Each structure stands twice: as C-alpha cells, then as structure tokens.
C-alpha cells in the first residue's frame, strides 16, 4: 500500500457475501473511488468458501490494480496468490506470516486500542497496524481507540496506521490528520447506496485533511 498526502481508503468486505452479487457491487465501488487495498474479512472458516470468494474478489481487484489481503489465514493467502494477510492478534503471528509470505507481501495486524501491541507488531515486521473501533461500538468490551492514540502514533511511529470500526463522517474528519488509512466496511455495505456512500467518506477524508 502506498503513502499519500491524505489518508487513503482501505476497504473491508462484509463478513458474509453472496458470490452472485457482491463482486459486481465491489467493482462498482472501486470504479467510482480509488482505494489502497481490499481486505477479504469473511466470518467463514471453510476453505472452499474462502477460496471461491477470494477468486471472485481477486478478479475484480487485480483488474483495477488494487491489493487484496485475507483476514488471518496466511497459508491460504499464499496458496490463492493474494497480496498478503491481515492478522487479528497483534504481534503474535507476524513473524510466522512474514516468513511464509516473504518480504514483498503485505502483512498487517489489528491491535485494538493498544499502542504496546502496535509497537510489538511493528518490531515483528508488519507493514501497517490498525486500531479500532475508532467510534462508539457495542462490539467486544466497547473500548474505543481514541483520537489521542492516532495523534501519538502519527507523531512517534513511522509504521502506517489504519483507523477502523464504527466510523462516521464527523469522526473521519477529526481523525484524518492523524492516520494513513481508513478501514471502511459495514459503514459502506450496510448503506442503501455503497457507491454513493464511499464518495461521502472520500469527501470527508479530503475535508479533514485540508485537501
């Protein structure tokens, strides 16, 4: 994933997708808004289902020169020829994923609201860390990744950071000066018009960044 003057959009798929419909919806969104990366974040642990979903999404993303990474399953990511993996357990599996996927693959990790986990993941060799939820959420124990965390990280640590989880337009504007990417998922797919919604998020990012 490349760096830019303002944060880029890092698209996260829904946990459940219909292969008869979602690839076309993804293509529509990618054709209307440039994004840095797509994360295949399915709840399924069925290898066949994940493989078919990855194949369908890869055809869309690679035609548009967009990286596609897979949640958690780095062995499967390699076999499917994806661009990398997004880990969900801080630094725990970073070294194993990097060893398996090689130096050119994308290896990122979700670190909740813990700067310590983020730094540990960085020392282990991640390309980026993600913190969240950035907004108010009933998921997990409800603990948010506060603005101060993104502010501190942006001033102290060189590793790119993703803000994700329960985002809204006002929150995006406020975090934009302190993050490299916004992980946008349910905020988009649960809207009535994802293609229109992603334009609203892109405009909020630009406004918050002063660009």
Q: Which residues pair with 87 in a beta bridge?
A: 109
pLDDT digits (tens, 9 = 90+) for 145-158: 999 999 999 999 99
Average pLDDT estimate for 40-60: 97
Average pLDDT, rounded, for the chain = 95
Question: Minimal CA–CA distance to 70: which of 57, 82, 55, 88?
Answer: 82
pLDDT band (50, 70, 90) for residue 140: low
Domains and CATH numbers, the chain: 8-209 (3.20.20.70)
**SS3 sequence of the chain:** CCCCCCCEEEEECCCCCCCCCHHHHHHHHHHHCCCCEEEECCCCCCHHHHHHHHHHHHHHHHHCCCEEEEECCHHHHHHCCCCEEEECCCCCCHHHHHHHHCCCCEEEEECCCCHHHHHHHHHHCCCEEEECCCCCCCCCCCCCCCHHHHHHHHHHCCCCEEEECCCCHHHHHHHHHHCCEEEECHHHHCCCCHHHHHHHHHHHHHHHHCC
Q: State residue 2's pLDDT score.
A: 43
Average pLDDT estimate for 42-71: 97
To 5 degrees, how large is the angle CA 198–CA 163–CA 143?
Answer: 120
Question: Minimal CA–CA distance to 152: which of 190, 122, 115?
Answer: 115
Sign of the CA dihedral 168, 60, 13, 93? Answer: negative
């Amino acid at each position: 994933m490349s760096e830019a003057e303002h944060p880029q959009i890092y698209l996260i798929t829904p946990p459940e997708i219909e292969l008869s419909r979602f690839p076309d919806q993804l293509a529509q969104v990618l054709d209307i808004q440039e994004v840095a990366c797509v994360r295949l974040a399915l709840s399924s642990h069925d290898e066949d289902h994940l493989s078919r979903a990855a194949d369908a999404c890869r055809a869309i993303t690679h035609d548009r020169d967009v990286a596609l990474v897979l949640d958690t399953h780095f062995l499967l990511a390699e076999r499917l020829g994806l661009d990398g993996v997004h880990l969900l357990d801080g630094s725990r599996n970073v070294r194993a994923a990097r060893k398996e996927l090689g130096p050119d693959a994308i290896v990122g990790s979700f670190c909740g609201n813990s700067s310590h986990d983020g730094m540990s993941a960085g020392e282990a060799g991640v390309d980026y860390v993600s913190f969240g939820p950035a907004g108010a959420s009933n998921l997990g124990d409800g603990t948010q990744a506060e603005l101060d965390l993104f502010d501190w990280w942006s001033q102290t640590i060189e590793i790119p950071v993703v803000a994700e989880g329960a985002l809204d337009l006002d929150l995006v504007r406020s975090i934009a000066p302190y993050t490299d990417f916004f992980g946008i998922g349910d905020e988009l797919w649960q809207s009535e018009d994802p293609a229109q919604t992603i334009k609203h998020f892109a405009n909020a990012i630009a406004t918050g960044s002063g660009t």
